[in-house]
Structure 1
């Protein structure tokens, strides 16, 4: 267990900031998630994009509570019609369509990644950070494919909802761990 909680959970010390600052961090996080949603490769029935990278990073940097809250806020924005989903999509109908399982998995992914980061699976330990990101991607794929299987069957859900995302999940996990490592180095340099 890590003893330096501020370094282990939220790399930028969010727990020590005012509620106004935390609200600003939530807004910034939803903007980051929306921007990541626009970086996509359109596939059917589920597009490939950078959302899982953003979700896992938000969890790892913000900590499990604020990370999950940020992702939930982004989902509410989407349900209310703001164009924040993949490719600028919006609307409540996405929460019952083929991507619903992935969308509902996102707050859990952010919470899990944040929880692991709070226990030392962060940028100070790049291999553990990579594993945390990889577990986040795996959780998202598992929950997303489970919902998709209800709609199109288990075989097709695996073929179209898991297989196309395996290499991307590995690459996004490595990129996420590298970004966390760079951020932790930067934060450590500022503190010294």
Structure 2
């Protein structure tokens, strides 16, 4: 049996449920991209950047799959939209989206999934504070790509007060939501790890 796998490094919560194999990894990568695509359709229209469920899905995928598979899943998501599939927010797609005000956030999804996955592979997602830190690090990574990209795009569009618009339209509306998403993850992921641990111990107790 081949041990070939897209996963690199220590196991994540996905590996506690499913054995590592190339076939499993491909399914997980595709599922992660589909999850982010679905979350992108849960949005509140805003300009220049809409509010959506994408960031939670991105960080959850990264944390669950680990750095390599999480990043590959987001690369797949970005490519699916680039070739025309309606996976971006509001069913949009194409190079115009990636080159627009939200393009930097989509590129940042790849790096954020890698960062959150790397931290999860070091067991940060097994404790409440560690999960909060994992999601905070991933969120900051998204903004590190999204905000400069947004500023450049707004400048090219001739928008006055580029810095103010970038902060008021690309950062401030999302802060509370990002905090709530991190709190939700901090409740879900450590609980899931504990549940898996109890499930492992149950057969031993029966013996």
Per the normalisation by structure 1, the TM-score is: 0.90
Gaps of 5+ in 2: 1-8, 155-161, 202-207
Give me the TM-score of the superposition, normalised by structure 2. Answer: 0.84
Is the CA contact (8 Å cut-off) linking 1:5 and 1:118 kept in structure 2?
yes
Does residue 188 of structure 1 match 2:197? yes
Which of 128, 135, 141 does residue 139 from structure 1 map onto? Answer: 141
Q: CA deviation at 1:16?
A: 4.3
**How far does the alpha carbon of each residue in 1:128-169 deviate from its partner, in whole angstroms, 9 at most, with x for none?**
111110121122123211111112222211111111111111
Question: Which protein shows a greater Rg?
Answer: 2
Aligned pairs for 1:118-157 (under 5 A) are 118-122=121-125, 124-152=126-154, 153-157=162-166
2:63 is matched with which residue?
60
The answer to whether residue 73 in structure 2 is matched with residue 70 in structure 1 is yes
Verify: 1:33 aligned to 2:42, yes or no: no
SS of equivalent residue, structure 1 residue 12: helix
For residues 18 and 155 of structure 1, what CA distance do their matches in structure 2 show?
Answer: 48
Give me the CA root mean square deviation. 1.7
Whole-Å separation in 2 of the counterparts to 1:66 and 1:47: 27
Matches within 5 A, 1:147-186: 147-152=149-154, 153-186=162-195
Of the structure 1 ranges 34-43 and 170-179, higher mean CA displacement relative to structure 2 is found in 170-179
The answer (yes or no) to whether the contact 1:137–1:173 under 8 Å persists in 2 is: no
Match of 1:5 in 2: 10
1:26, distance to aligned residue in structure 2 (A)? 1.2
The separation in 2 between residues aligned to 1:139 and 1:5, in whole angstroms, is 22
- Relative contact order, CA 8 A, sep 6+: which one is greater? 1
Q: Would the alpha carbon gap of residues 145 and 190 (structure 1) be closer, same or farther in structure 2, given more than 3 Å must change?
A: same
Aligned equivalents of 2:76 and 2:34: distance in 1? 11
8 A contact 1:12–1:187 mirrored in 2: no
User: Which 5+ residue runs of structure 1 have no aligned equivalent?
Assistant: none
